[in-house]
């Protein structure tokens, strides 16, 4: 951001939580792109969203007040923390509309602030037109386990979800829960519950397009596919990439690591080896150097693709495990000594 969050919200540093909310509400309505056609409105709208995201959170605000923006975004050493203050670096998620929806509620919350004649409606903090502020539930996170080959080539994974949707007789309110379906099959027939709600199970297939080069920890977000309720916005469903162990390769950033077993003779005299790559090619790699304990062989461009540009790839780094003989005869020791003194 590179500015002062208090200045962005047009408040002073003694502002209360209510003052922060009031300032954000006023400025968010003023600079919302749907209402303001100025070319710089969205930038300002994003700026005040980031400011509110920090100042409305007590831990982020405490870190910012004491250590400034640099300390907030880079993190602070744990020995400088106060009462267990948050010490991880902060990064704004870059979605000001999400902040706006979370604050005001609704799929199209901006529409709630206008009467039919187009005039603004004054709304207090107690709720929207007496209905209460709709808040978004916390994201539902699930691990997505992928083979190294999937992350190398890219692929499409399909996940089946089932969501229970309930409807009150004569109303438009809905509520429900989200869960993953593995073996069980749920009927979509409606039934009447004791509380007067009819409920049904609706299945949906989510397609996840895995890009070549994605790393472990990559998050794939499906907005508002989770729980529903009359006073809440459906939760986002978040899949977090987890890489499965591979029998031959391990991964470091964009590089692939391969460990090759050799005996002492080859380590001292040289050899050639064959390695099958993740895309099925067979690499013939000569090693003419003496393989000492810290020796590695680097094959450029044979690692993982980079997700930003799959044409660029990391390196294949070969490490060696030298197998020493368990015992030697006297004659063998004598010959080795003679050879090493030449």
Residue that finishes a domain, picked among 136, 152, 184: 136
Kind and range of the H or E run holding 72: helix 58-74
Does any domain span residue 217? Answer: yes
Whether 247 contacts 152, CB under 8 Å: no
- Structure tokens of 189? 């027939």
Angle, in degrees to the nearest 10, between helices 41-55 and 17-31 = 160
| CATH code of the domain containing 144 | 2.60.260.20
Q: Is the pTM of this model over 0.75?
A: no
Please tell me whether residues 255 and 326 are part of one structural domain.
yes
Residue that finishes a domain, picked among 118, 136, 154: 136
SS3 26: helix
pLDDT in tens, 250-260: 998 889 999 99
Does any domain span residue 240? Answer: no
Please tell me whether residues 206 and 122 are part of one structural domain.
no
- Structure tokens of 92? 């704004």
Give how many domains the chain has, as a whole number: 3
SS3 98: helix
Q: What's the pLDDT band for 149 if we cut at 50, 70, 90?
A: very high
- Alpha helix stretches (DSSP H) within 197-312: 264-269
pLDDT in tens, 74-87: 776 655 544 444 45
Please tell me whether residues 2 and 96 are part of one structural domain.
yes
| CATH code of the domain containing 9 | 1.10.287.110
Whether 162 contacts 201, CB under 8 Å: yes
Average pLDDT over residues 13-19: 91
Confidence (pLDDT) at 332: 78
- The beta strand positions in the chain, using DSSP E, are 135-136, 140-146, 155-168, 174-175, 178-180, 191-192, 197-210, 219-222, 232-233, 237-243, 249-252, 255-263, 271-276, 282-287, 296-299, 305-306, 309-313, 316-323
Does any domain span residue 86? Answer: yes
Query: Distances in Å between the alpha carbon of 145 and those of 210, 288, 294?
Result: 12, 39, 33
pLDDT in tens, 299-336: 999 999 988 888 889 999 999 988 888 888 888 788 87
Which residue segment(s) compose the domain that 54 sits in?
1-136
Please tell me whether residues 40 and 90 are part of one structural domain.
yes
- Structure tokens of 64? 């910012």
pLDDT in tens, 201-211: 677 888 889 99
Average pLDDT over residues 49-53: 93
């Amino acid at each position: 951001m590179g500015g002062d969050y208090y200045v962005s919200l047009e408040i002073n540093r003694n502002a209360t939580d209510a003052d922060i909310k009031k300032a954000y509400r006023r400025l968010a309505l003023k600079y919302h792109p749907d209402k303001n056609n100025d070319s710089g409105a969205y930038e300002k709208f994003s700026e005040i969203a980031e400011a509110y995201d920090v100042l409305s959170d007590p831990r982020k605000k405490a870190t910012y007040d004491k250590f400034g923006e640099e300390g907030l975004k880079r993190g602070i050493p744990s020995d400088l923390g106060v009462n267990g203050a948050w010490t991880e670096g902060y990064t704004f998620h870059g979605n000001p509309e999400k902040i706006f929806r979370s604050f005001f509620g609704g799929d199209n919350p901006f529409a709630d602030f206008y009467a039919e004649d187009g005039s603004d409606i004054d709304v207090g903090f107690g709720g929207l037109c007496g209905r209460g502020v709709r808040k978004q539930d916390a994201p539902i996170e699930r691990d997505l386990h992928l083979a190294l080959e999937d992350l190398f080539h890219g692929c499409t994974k399909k996940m089946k979800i089932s969501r229970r949707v309930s409807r009150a007789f004569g109303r438009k309110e809905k509520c429900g829960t989200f869960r993953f379906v593995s073996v069980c099959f749920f009927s979509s027939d409606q039934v009447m519950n004791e509380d007067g709600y009819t409920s049904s199970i609706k299945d949906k297939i989510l397609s996840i397009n895995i890009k070549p080069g994605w790393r472990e920890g990559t998050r794939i977000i499906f907005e508002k596919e989770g729980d529903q309720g009359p006073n809440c916005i459906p939760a986002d469903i978040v899949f977090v990439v987890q890489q499965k162990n591979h029998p031959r390769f391990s991964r470091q950033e964009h590089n692939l690591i391969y460990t090759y077993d050799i005996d002492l003779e080859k380590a001292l005299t040289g050899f050639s080896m064959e390695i099958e790559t993740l895309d099925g090619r067979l690499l013939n790699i000569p090693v003419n150097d003496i393989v000492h304990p810290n020796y590695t062989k680097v094959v450029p461009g044979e690692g993982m693709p980079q997700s930003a540009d799959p044409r660029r790839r990391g390196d294949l780094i070969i490490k060696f495990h030298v197998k020493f003989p368990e015992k030697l005869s006297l004659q063998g020791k004598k010959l080795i000594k003679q050879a090493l003194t030449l």
